[in-house]
Structure 1
Amino acid sequence: MNEPLRNPDAVLARLRTEAAKDDTDGAPARGRLKIFFGYAAGVGKTYTMLEAVRSAANAGRDVLLGYIEPHGRPETESLMVGLPALPLRELNYRGVQLREFDLDAALERRPELVLVDELAHTNAAGCRHTKRWQDVLELLDAGIDVWTTLNVQHVESLNDIVAQITGITMKETIPDSVFDEASDVELVDLIPDELLDRFRDGKIYVPEQAARATDRFFRKANLVALRELAMRRVADRLNRDVQTARLGQTRTQTWPTTERLLVCVSPSPTSAKVIRTAKRMASALHAQWLAVNTETAASAQMDVRSRHRLGLHLKLAEQLGAESVTITGEDVAEEIVRYARSRNVTKIVIGKTDQTPWYRFWHRSIVGHLIAISGDIDVYVIRGVEERTSQPPPGAKKSWPWKGHVAAAGVLTAATVVAMGLENVGLSDANIVMTYLLAVVLVAVKIGRGPAIAASVLAVLLFNFFFTTPYFTFVVDDTGYIFTFAVMLAVALIVSTLTIRIRNQLNLARERERRTEVQYRVSQALASTSGRHQIAIAAEEQLAGIFNGEIALFGIENGMLRPLVRRGHGFTESPTELDTARWVFQHAQMAGHGTDTLPNSQAMYLPLQGADVTVGVIGWHPRQMSDLLTIDQRQLLEAFTTQIALSLERDQLAHEAQRILAQAETERLRSSLLSAVSHDLRTPLAAIAGSASTLLEGTLDELTRQELARTIYEESDRLSRLVENLLHLTRIESGSMKVDKQWHPVDEVVGSAIRRAHRSLEAHVVETTISTECGLVPMDGLLIEQVLVNLLENAAKYTPAGSVITVSTDRTRCGAELAVCDRGPGLDEFERERIFDKFYRGATTPSDRGRGAGLGLAICRAIVQAHGGEIRAEPRRGGGSRFVMTLPIQGQPPIVEETPVDERSADG
């Protein structure tokens, strides 16, 4: 017998357990985690843990109390006396002194065992990890064993259930993986009545906390439900431990720690009765149950009626709560027992129908073989009763059973003609026999099992009729031929049977390969596509050819379920079909054509179920209404729905992340804008208001009046530039800025910019170096002029009076290069990377009035990038900074030809 099948989850658990025990490359083995698990506060988790650690300390283990929360309970505090304890780390949070577990001190101390109470606790700000369970994982990675405590309401996967029971949503939870990977879990239990007595006696909470807890949490109904939940969680873990332990056995046997049933499903009409019986048995035993169909090589020859009936039986089992599984193999009984042992099944339920003696003579009883090899697994045989079968699919065609036999007879006739030719050339009877055997093999390969068996018998008869004396009769003179006939028939039957089996196995392998290739192709198409619309197009194109029909995906748009790909025709435009799709979306259940729900629909609809919610619906519309999906096709389509749902959910999460990032960036920009603009508005407005109020006094001399008027003008100009920059930024951010590229002389653009910035440059010397190779450049003259004005004003703000500011142009491989150089304090590497960010300002100038809002250079970068160029800041040799923008040059400037003067016009 082959090696038994293994449960993947149990195998992984076994591997993790063995990996935890290994000490590879001299690295310390990972520590072991033990959780004292309870259903509520006060059941005695910490007390039980301290009792156990005292026993461990007495046995010689190096133990350390890392963090214990006694909750003011004297009996708990008494157990801590005499045990080495780690000093707690004190942190100040908003004026409150908090005491937390000191992870670094524990790692430095490196005890053999450390106790860390309250695994789900949230650490205070300032600790290395946000959650205490992260501290515990670091201790485990360091090879330190950890004991801790946990309540059932703090397990992440049970959070919603606890909220339904108690009405309280726990914010402090641990991932299920931490609980599942613990080496040991000890359930600390207490009868709810005793827990309530302790609660009323004040042994759990102080009176103020007790009053709040009584109102919502500490009620007997809640405690009973939480107790059952905790026990079930521990029982599930114990069941996994049993499965893991069974993998270590040389021979996997059934361990009847819990009841698990397996019901055998086949196309037989009596399978429905067997499934219902298994459901009643599972309910009575409170057991899990599996519905298993064994696919053999002969399954490939199953007609449409049988496939349809098998699909209905598996669907019935799923509706009744079974886990449906399809396994493959040649010996049905052996495959069932092998799979049952791998899943720790304790009882097998199988049906048995009345069979004719002739059938029992030629076929081995599956039931008898199953009972013989079942070993310690109980087998329940349900006598089958022929029941009224469902109607086959309307498109099921009845095949003519004699068509293959006629073809087989034709092949044998041709073989007889060839054999006569061989006899005429003097070849022996052995060659003639081999010719017939070759014909039988050909029938088995090309036609099928029934015709091959008929061909085996016909080959013997033809050999007797044409090639043994007396000829043309079925009588033989030599009795030795009887043995030849028997051997010939046996060999023909064996060869044909083996050939058919190999052919069917090959067909199964090809079908599995095709399904794998199809799944890979679809997964690749979905993985390489982004956007709901593109995902829908890719899925519909891939699946339409696979399932021989029209595929449509539906999703929510503007609060309504609509087709993601609007074709303007087809079944997706029907209001009735849209109603069916909406029902499937709302109820997350399959419906439509070929189902028991809304069966009059034109298409079959399946929900696209994501990790948490239904993200859409997929519809399959057959090319002919008589077509139905086989059970294999339906399972394949369901597998594709999972892939498509995950792709749509991935895209939805990506859009949500982009929206959140954009919203956060908008909030950051709004905050920065208010912070920057409020200062830059307040300063000039204060200066204008002060100067204007002084002017109103009327007792000032002319020089003072002119000075105040100049101040008002300069500050107004400053406000004007600020508003202009804000307007530029608004146009850039909204995408309304248009770049009108024309061929402009660089020297004219540079000269115009210097003239516009002359007020800012009054205290500086401006030098220009214009390259003759950089004449005409394609650009938006007004926008590039604005870039140069911003660069010049920026240089004037951050350089001392009297210093030289240089504007230069040059032609490089990348295009036209325009540079503004100064002799200011320069920029360090950090500032050179951030200087073009919005609202970033450089070092403070001697007079802070000269500082801007940090928008000018950001506008420069946006304008230059809109031209397809780049701008950068770099240090200048000898001190200062150099701001360089490079504009691409594509094509050739227009040639301007002089227009000759019309002499006739001149002569008048």
Structure 2
Amino acid sequence: MAATEPRDEGRPDPDALLASMRQETRLDGKRADGRGRLTIFLGAAPGVGKTYAMLARARKLKADIVVGLAETHGRSETAELLDGLEILPRRRVPYKGRVIETFDLDAALARKPRILILDELASSNPEGSRHPKRFQDIEELLAAGIDVWTALNIQHLESLADVVANITGIRVREQVPDTVLQKADEIILVDLPPAELIDRLKEGKVYLPESARRASERFFRLGNLTALRELALRRTADRVDDDMVDYLKGHAIEGAWASAERLLVCVGGDVLSEKVVREASRLASGLNAAWTVVSLERADREPGEGAPARIDELLRLAERLGAQTQRITANDFVAELIRLARREHVTQIVIGAPARRRWPFFRRHSLADEIVAHVPGIAVHVVTGDLADAAAAVPRHRRARHPGELARAAAYAVVTVAAAALIGTGIQRIMPLSNVSLLFLMAVVVSAIRAGYGAAFLAAVLSGLAYNFFFIPPLYTFTIASPHEVFAFIVFLLAALLAGGLASRVSEQARAARARAAALQSLYDFSRKLSGNAEADDVLWAAVSQLHESFNRPAVLLTPQNGTVALAAAWPPDADLEVGDMSAARWAFEHKEPAGRDTGTLPSSRWQFRPMTSPHGVVGILGLRWDGEPFDGAAEPMLAAILDQTAIALDRARLAQQSIAQAARLQGDSLRTALLSSISHDLRTPLATITGSVTSLRQLGDRMDKASRDDLLATIEEEGGRLSRFVSNLLDMTRIEAGTLETRRDWIEVGDVIRAAVERCARYYPHLAIDVSIAANLPLMQGDSVLLGQVLFNLLDNAAKYAAGEPVKIFARAEGGEIVISVTDSGKGIAPGDLDKVFEKFFRPGTPDGRPPGTGLGLSIARGFVDAMGGTIKAESPATRRRGTRMVLRFPVPPGEARTPTP
């Protein structure tokens, strides 16, 4: 829409409508999305009456309310309000040699009241609890559909921790992420004037006398309470303003709109970045603006020691404070930030800058200076630090961090410069050398490559001194006689410093490139390994071995089974999970969030568990064990890549299994459809004939002559036989597919079985001519005479359908240690492409007259019976004179066991 076009009248904001629909209250008092509603009683300080207000409201409300935990702190008027309310029994846990009582989360979930009162939102849980913080217990209660009332003092908000410390001089240890307050469905401000609160403190209505005296001396001062009250009022006012804006948007009411501010916060691995994040959080809260925290890392430089871990901690802090986070790896930070700011419509940038040192002429431009100079139209907030922050922000390649690193750098510098001086002196004694300074320049470059910029700087200084002492007249002094030598010495020193800096930079970039290349090669090899594994078990074992190799930690993978997770692969194979570890793994699976070590859920576990998600849900849980060493944050991208690739591979394996199962279902549906079609067509005809004949006999039997009645009875008998054969075929195929077919291994005379099958066929096809030829001295064969007779009858029955009035020929002979039986018709024959298909279930090649009779099971059953007796069956077409079909049976005769029939 153009800027000059009028705005649509009466059109609500879609995002506001969606948010309103999710939070809409149903008839039963619950939210539309099934979550419980969170009500926070917010106060400026202890003693304003938050718990009292909660309990008083509970007594007035006629509802299913249970008190999970209420701290009265010895106040009698508050304790009286508990009378008549259901109180949940507390859980007793051992703690430091004594037993304490705490909130029982499992009991609350089992009771599942409509409303649960859970005091002290900012409290920590005893060690060994499922969650270390109470606000995490509340999140689980809300997810279970339980409404929660709780209380919070403003000083416990994480974004205000340093502000409260500056105001009161006390660092608040118990902190709550700002997102908890932002996600609350209702905030009730419990306010009390500071002077009245101090009077309550003196009267002993807040703390016991001794505690009240200490509190009045340190925390409960008029200025402190006034400042805290202002913070509480401001946060409540911001929330009211948000609710009003949402209402205006949802109801399309024109009015004053808040400016759409977006903040971009730049952080790194320095100590100043935490201050930047907290300042940006307060700024975003005051402006009611969305904000994004971006970590900046160079692609051509290794991160400083501990920097990845600090960046990870900063990003987690930013997320707790309500920010979105991103990572940027680039060489030109300014250009990358400009692109990001334009893409995200950023209006303000927040960045930190250390305190400036003296002699600004030699000071390098900071990133903040570059952003101010090159980012037009965007406000830039610079958060400054002190000189200590500036010293801590010096890059790794500009200073030695450990005494061992400094000693190594000094050793390289001294050794390389001494070697250059010795080589140069030796050459000078043999022949004059005008450019001996190149040897010292090489010493500087070698020191830079091997030990970094510190060694290069020291080598440059030592090289200048050695060059002056040994090679600039007057020799063996530090005096320079000629002016041009002074100039040459200065140029050499500058060139050495520059070459050392460039060499150390190139060396560091090469190391970073090698590390990234090794990581990429490892991921490439892992992806190739996964692409060659189609089974889920192979994928799991490949993943755990790769994780163990990449991070040198025991790794386990758990997969969903029957609504929970079970251990599927581990490396080393003897890695085990205890009860607490499995609880953390199940939590990660159920809530799709990390759990275990260094997380907010069951942090006492030795393992950290992370869910592997795909578009179809959680496909597995990864576990890595901590053995005292913290996880290197630089490895986080590789871990994320391995998790994503493993999740994709597991999802692919699952889809492959589903595809196979679906193909089997489709094949089964096809067979079932073919069977129903065959039965509906081939069984309906004889049933209709039998029904018509029976009806005729009943209605006209007494008026028919004997010949007509005999003809109808013969028809009934014939069609009944057809039905019997169809049913027998179906039962035989069922036995073959179920593997329940039992065969006898008797000595049988093939000629007798052939003649019995011919006689049986003659009863059903009296007009069919059958030529039988059985070789003399045909040996006996081991087999089942009943099954062989059924096979021959099925072949004769099939030949009769395609004989076209010509005789059917059946031959039996001995050939090469086998008994060969062939059944040949003189019909049209079978197409070459259908020779193998004729033995498939329900397949019928068709005739010029249309659909042939039968179910299409006869030849399939014949092949099943022949296979069961150890023989083979094959179709040949054309058979004779370019016509007909020949079915050839071959049965082996064991050497030395051949017998001939008894005359």
How would you bin the TM-score normalised by the shorter chain? 0.5 to 0.7
Residue 522 of structure 2 is aligned to residue 518 of structure 1? yes
Structure 2 matches for 1:57-456, cutoff 5 A?
259-282=261-284, 289-296=291-298, 299-300=301-302, 302-303=304-305, 305-319=306-320, 320-329=322-331, 331-337=332-338, 339-341=340-342, 345-357=346-358, 361=362, 363-384=364-385, 400-431=405-436, 433-456=437-460
Paired with 1:164 and 1:827, the residues of 2 have a C-alpha distance of 71
Do the aligned partners of residues 564 and 731 (structure 1) sit closer, same or farther apart at CA in structure 2, a change above 3 Å counting?
farther
CA-CA distance at 1:401 after TM superposition? 3.0
Residue from 606, 613, 620 that aligns with 2:610: 606
Asked if 1:495 is matched to 2:499, the reply is yes
- Name the CA distance, whole Å, in 1 between partners of 2:248 and 2:813: 78
The residue that corresponds to 2:896 in the other structure is 896
Task: Please give the alpha-carbon distance, in whole angstroms, between the structure 1 residues aligned to 2:18 and 2:670.
Answer: 34
Structure 1 equivalent of residue 553 of structure 2:
549
Contact residue 766 and residue 804 of structure 1 kept, 8 A: yes
Letter of the 1:413 counterpart: A
Assess if the C-alpha contact under 8 Å between 1:725 and 1:859 holds in 2.
yes
The residue type paired with residue 370 of structure 2 is: H
Evaluate the alpha carbon distance shift between residue 302 and residue 795 of structure 1 in structure 2; reply closer, same or farther with a 3 A threshold: same
Closer, same or farther in 2 for the Cα pair 1:566/1:404, shift >3 Å? closer
Matches within 5 A, 1:590-605: 590-605=594-609
The correspondence of residues 618-633 of structure 1 with structure 2, limited to 5 A, is 618-621=622-625, 624-630=627-633, 632-633=634-635
Which residue number corresponds to residue 804 of structure 1? Answer: 808
State the 1:441 CA deviation: 0.7
Residue number among 519, 529, 538 corresponding to 1:534 in the alignment:
538
Separation in 1, partners of 2:740, 2:252: 61
Segments of structure 2 that go 5 or more residues without pairing to the other structure are 1-6, 27-31, 33-242, 254-258, 393-400
Structure 1 residues 870 and 509: alpha-carbon distance in aligned structure 2, compared to 1, 3 A threshold? farther
1:268 is paired with a residue whose SS is: coil
Deviations 1:612-652 (A, max 9, x none): 42222122235x4414132x321221122222222222332
Contact 1:834 1:840 in 2 (8 A): yes
Give the alignment of 1:650-669 within 5 angstroms: 650-663=652-665, 665-666=667-668, 669=671
Deviation at 1:270, TM superposition (A): 2.0
The range that moved more, 320-329 or 823-832, is 823-832
| C-alpha distance 272-461 of structure 1, shift in aligned 2 (>3 A) | same
Measure, in 2, the Cα distance between the counterparts of 1:730 and 1:804: 29
Q: Cα 1:275–1:771, aligned 2, differ >3 Å: closer, same or farther? A: farther
| Aligned residue runs from structure 1 range 548-587, under 5 A | 548-565=552-569, 570-587=574-591
Cα distance in 1 for partners of 2:277, 2:589 equals: 29
- Is the 8 Å Cα contact of residues 261 and 347 (structure 1) preserved in structure 2? yes
Deviation readout 1:853-908 (Å, 9 max, x if unpaired): 33223334556788797855856676865254687x9xx97542899xxxxxxxxx
How far apart in 1 are the matches of 2:251 and 2:886?
Answer: 68
Equivalent-residue separation in structure 2 for 1:380 and 1:719 (angstroms) = 92
Distance in 1, Cα, partners of 2:500 & 2:850: 103
User: Which letter does structure 2 place at the counterpart of 1:315?
Assistant: R
Q: Distance in 1 between matches of 2:20 and 2:750?
A: 72
> Counterpart in 2 of 1:458?
462
How many Å apart are 1:582 and its aligned residue?
A: 0.9
Partner letter of residue 560 of structure 2?
A: I
Give distance in 2, aligned partners of 1:627 and 1:569: 23
Counterpart of 1:509 (choices 506, 510, 513) is 513
Other-structure match for 1:765: 769
Residues 758 and 560 from structure 1, CA distance in 2 versus in 1: closer, same or farther, beyond 3 angstroms? farther
3-state secondary structure, aligned to 1:475: coil
Instruction: Give the corresponding residue for 1:589.
Output: 593
| 2:885 is equivalent to residue 882 of structure 1 | yes
- Shift of residue 570, structure 1, vs aligned partner: 3.9
**Secondary structure of 1:796's aligned partner:** helix
- Give CA deviations for 1:541-578 in whole Å, capped at 9, x if unaligned: 33331222233221112333112237895444422222
Once the two structures are superposed, residues 430-473 of structure 1 have per-residue CA deviations (whole angstroms, 9 ceiling, x without a partner) of 22x11111111111111111111111111111222333344443
Q: Which residue pairs with 1:176 in the alignment? A: none
CA contact (8 A) 1:824 1:879 kept: no
CA contact (8 A) 1:864 1:885 kept: no
Alpha-carbon separation, structure 1, partners of 2:352 and 2:897: 101
Residues 790-801 of structure 1 aligned to structure 2 (within 5 Å): 790-799=794-803
Whole-Å Cα distance in 2 between the matches of residues 226 and 442 of structure 1?
69
- Output the TM-score relative to the length of structure 1: 0.59
Task: Rate the CA distance shift 1:706–1:769 in 2: closer, same or farther, 3 A.
Answer: same
Contact 2:878 2:884 in 1 (8 A): yes
Count the aligned residue pairs.
Answer: 653
Deviation, structure 1 residue 402: 2.1
Distance verdict in 2 for CA 1:439–1:651, change over 3 Å: same
**Residue identity in the other structure for 2:311:** L
List alignment gaps of at least 5 residues for structure 1: 1-37, 44-150, 170-220, 232-256, 390-395, 900-908
**2:435 partner SS:** helix
1:356-405 Cα deviation digits (max 9, x unpaired): 43798354323223322223333211123789x9xxxxxx9985432222
Identify if the C-alpha distance between structure 1 residues 705 and 372 changes in structure 2 by more than 3 Å, giving closer, same or farther: closer
The whole-number CA distance in structure 2 between the counterparts of 1:819 and 1:412 is 99
Residues 794 and 641 (structure 1), Cα distance of their counterparts in 2 relative to 1, 3 Å cut: same
Larger Rg: 2
Distance 1:734 1:357, change over 3 A: farther
**In the TM superposition, what whole-angstrom CA distance separates every residue of 1:45-68 from its partner, at most 9, and x where no partner exists?**
xxxxxxxxxxxxxxxxxxxxxxxx
Q: Matched residue of 2:352: which SS?
A: strand
- Cα distance in 2, alignment partners of residues 281 and 606 from structure 1: 33
Partner secondary structure for residue 602 of structure 2: coil
Distance 1:275 1:869 in 2: 80
Is the 8 Å Cα contact of residues 263 and 349 (structure 2) preserved in structure 1? yes
Question: Percent of aligned positions with the same letter in both sequences?
Answer: 31
Between 1:865-874 and 1:610-619, the stretch displaced more is 865-874
Q: Is the 8 A contact 1:563 1:572 kept in 2?
A: no
**In 2, Cα distance between the equivalents of 1:597 and 1:273?**
27
Residues 705, 845 of structure 1: alpha-carbon distance in 2 compared, 3 angstrom cutoff: farther
Do 2:293 and 2:323's aligned partners in 1 also have CA atoms closer than 8 Å?
no
- CA separation of 1:260 and 1:581: change in aligned 2, threshold 3 A: same
Change (3 A) 1:299 1:568: closer
Pairwise mapping of residues 638-657 of structure 1 onto structure 2 (< 5 A)? 638-657=640-659
Distance 1:225 1:874 in 2: 83
- 8 Å contact from structure 2 (residues 799, 808) kept in 1: no
Shift of 1:611: 1.0
TM-score between both structures, scaled by the size of structure 2:
0.60
Preserved contact between residue 553 and residue 565 of structure 1 (Cα < 8 Å): yes
Cα 1:844–1:705 change in 2 (3 A) is farther
2:806/2:825 contact within 8 Å kept: no
For 1:452 and 1:784, locate their aligned partners in 2 and report how far apart those are by CA, in whole Å: 95
Pick closer, same or farther for the CA change 1:894–1:843 going to 2, 3 Å. closer
